[in-house]
Amino acid sequence: EILGKRAFSITLTEGKKHEIRRMLNALNCTVMRLIREKLLFFTTRGLTPGSIRELSEIEKSKLLTTLKLTD
């Protein structure tokens, strides 16, 4: 998704930030900054850089189930 003259959004369902850098390097584009906005079902919405928050009991349960760490 194009966000502006020098900004756009890429959504990967798998992979790492290095993959994005390699893809854009192949297009002769330089990556200035990457921001991970979502991991699994967690988002960074509402958090300032460096801040943390506790997971709710529902989030903890969902995480453990997703990672197959519970019955």
**pLDDT for 8-59, tens place per residue?**
888 887 777 788 888 889 988 888 888 777 778 888 888 888 888 888 899 8
Q: How far apart (Å, rounded) are the C-alpha atoms in residues 26 and 30? A: 10
Q: Dihedrals φ, ψ of 3, to 5°? A: -105, -20
Q: How far apart (Å, rounded) are the C-alpha atoms in residues 10 and 35? A: 10
> Tell me, what's the pLDDT at 24?
86
pLDDT, greater one: 70 or 2: 2
> Tell me, what's the pLDDT at 71?
67
> Tell me, what's the pLDDT at 20?
85
